[in-house]
Structure 1
Amino acid sequence: MTEVTEVTGLACRREGTGAPVLFLHGHWLARDWTPLHEALARRFDLIAPAAPGFGDSPRPAWVTGRDDVVLAFRDLLDALGVERAHLVGYGLGGWLAADFAIWSPDQVASLSVLAPFGLRVPDHPIADVFIMNPAVYDDAYFNGEPVDGAVPGPGTPAQGGAEAYAARYGDMGMAAALMWDFRYDLKLERRLPRLGVPALVLEAEQDRIVPVEHTARWADLLDAKRTAVPGGHAFPLTSPGQTAAHITAFIQGVQ
């Protein structure tokens, strides 16, 4: 049984052997070890931290923006003795993974972004996840086919109990601290093409949170392979096998 351990202040779960893969969660799922994690851990040394302020990771006073979160992830890899890792990020985690690659390219073997946040695409905004009515979660994230126990936002106290509600509310509060004022980074337009790392962009066939125009733009800027997975924005949960297969094939092709 793998224990969740504290490393440099971050709650982090690590399983598997092989090439190191740093998996960065989005604005939700910070506490979850999902079937996608399980599938990736069968192929790789999977490192899945909860970002500062998310899950069981405390938020130090010095963490005020995405750059500080990236520094925390760098410290984590250093503490684990990992010199270079493949980065995989979902949603907000995709944005953070790109930031990591921009600021620490020597530590990045490849970059895989899953329905990433971070770009501004005129006339095609990402859904405002902070004002979304819990009544539309199932439709917006799962296209009407929800996964039991998966709540994309704070939801209501009735969904998992008051303790789970408080935890989800805290996660969304930290997500807001990272992207409330700036829902996108205009500098990504210039910085992503300069990365020069192998990249993969995964999108949902019918994403109602991140419009397809965003993943198309990410692929253009990164000169990356772009692949669609069945389902909605929650495709890492609803199609974990296919998602893992695409990520695995890509990373193995890079090695």
Structure 2
Amino acid sequence: MTTTHPPVPLQPYPGLPLTLTDVGEGRPVLLLHGGAGPASMTAIADHFAAGRRVLTPTHPGWDDTARPDWFAGVDALVETYLDLLDDLQLHDVLVLGSSFGGWLAAEMAVRDRGRRRIGRLVLMGAIGPQVPGHEVRMPTQAPNTPGPSPEAIRTMLAYTGPAMADPKLLHRLGRVAVPTLAVWGEDDAVVTPDFGRAYAAAIPDARFEVIPEAGHLPWREAPDATFAAIDAFVAAGDGPA
């Protein structure tokens, strides 16, 4: 049976409650969703919860949660989630981010240098850096496929700005000091595999894996290949706690 931890009242700033799902036991995993919202991470949470403690926050503004106008910009979320790891006294955390959540995860790793809150990093179809010659295409909601709603897109743009990229991030990624895996769908229409290769190349010793017959959310289209790549990467770092 998967353990569900009792809810902790989280309010990183006055008037800004933070919704957090916290299940399982063991080494911690922090899952950061993209525009499709926290429900898009359910399969990943279920995959890890059998042997790890899995935390999935809802970024303020998604799923009808509060986001005051002043709470904007990627840095607001990044500092909130780094503080969350401190408040919960977590270290050696596996941080996995998808799409916009990958941007947050990468920026967290840049800022965590030397603090050891983050132990390993997985980026899946991540946006964030400005890569010359590679535009980020706005994700769309395909028929019969859960995706970002128009409201979610508006909320995401409040954090990312209209360019959906940070021109300085590609250069700062050289400060990432934890093992990193970049997982990309072969048919990703939001950020191409070439974008992903440039992303991974900017991170020291990062591994890059392309998942055949998969798109922007590869664990949906090709779950076996996606989880095999992630599990092999995670297992390589599973020494004594």
Q: TM-score, normalised by structure 1?
A: 0.80
CA contact (8 A) 1:35 1:240 kept: no
Query: Which of 237, 247, 253 is the matching residue for 2:220?
Result: 237
Who is 2:105 aligned against? Answer: 97
In structure 1, what is the equivalent of residue 52 of structure 2? 44
Contact in 2 for aligned 1:22/1:48 (Cα 8 Å): yes
Does residue 1:27 correspond to 2:8, yes or no? no
Q: Which moved more, 1:239-248 or 1:173-182?
A: 239-248
Per-residue deviation, 1:200: 0.3
State the shift of 1:94 in Å: 0.5
Does the CA contact (< 8 Å) of 1:205 and 1:229 recur in 2? Answer: yes
Aligned to 1:194: 175
Match of 1:251 in 2: 234
Following superposition, which runs of at least 4 residues in structure 1 exceed 3 angstroms of deviation?
A: 1-6
CA contact (8 A) 1:50 1:56 kept: no
Secondary structure, counterpart of 1:111 in structure 2? strand
Aligned residue number for residue 126 of structure 1: 136
**C-alpha distance after superposition, 1:52-82 (max 9, x if no partner):** 2223542245412111111221232233231
1:98 CA displacement: 0.7
Q: Per the alignment, in what secondary structure is the counterpart of residue 48 of structure 1?
A: strand
- Structure with the higher helix share, 1 or 2: 1
- Over 3 Å counting, the alpha-carbon distance change for 1:170 and 1:123 in structure 2 is same
Name the counterpart of 2:187.
206
- Counterpart CA distance in 2 for 1:7 and 1:211 is 36
Matches of 1:186 and 1:19, distance apart in 2: 34
Aligned residues: 226
Q: Which of 154, 162, 166 is the matching residue for 1:173?
A: 154
Taking a change above 3 Å as real, the CA distance of residues 72 and 56 of structure 1, as seen in their structure-2 partners, is: farther
Query: What are structure 1's unaligned runs of at least 5 residues?
Result: 139-147, 155-168
The amino acid across from 1:204 in the alignment is: G
Distance in 2 separating the partners of 1:80 and 1:21 = 12
Aligned equivalents of 1:46 and 1:113: distance in 2? 16
Contact 1:36 1:237 in 2 (8 A): no
User: How far does residue 252 in structure 1 lie from its aligned partner after superposition?
Assistant: 2.2
Map of 2:206 onto structure 1: 224
- The answer (yes or no) to whether the contact 2:60–2:67 under 8 Å persists in 1 is yes
Change (3 A) 1:170 1:4: farther
SS at match of 2:166: coil
Contact 2:193–2:210 (8 Å) recurs in 1? no
The answer to whether residue 21 in structure 2 is matched with residue 13 in structure 1 is: yes
Distance 1:45 1:153 in 2: 27
The Cα RMSD (Å) is 2.2
Pairwise CA distance, 1:104? 2.0
Tell me: CA distance 1:84–1:59, structure 2 relative to 1, closer, same or farther (3 Å): farther
> Could you state the TM-score of these two structures normalised by the residue count of structure 2?
0.84
Aligned pairs (5 A) from 1:107-146: 107-129=117-139, 132=140, 134=141, 137=142
Secondary structure of residue in 2 paired with 1:254: coil
Q: What's 1:82 paired with?
A: 90
CA contact (8 A) 1:119 1:189 kept: yes
Local SS of the residue matching 1:34: helix
Question: Is residue 12–residue 49 contact of structure 1 (8 Å, CA) maintained in 2?
Answer: yes
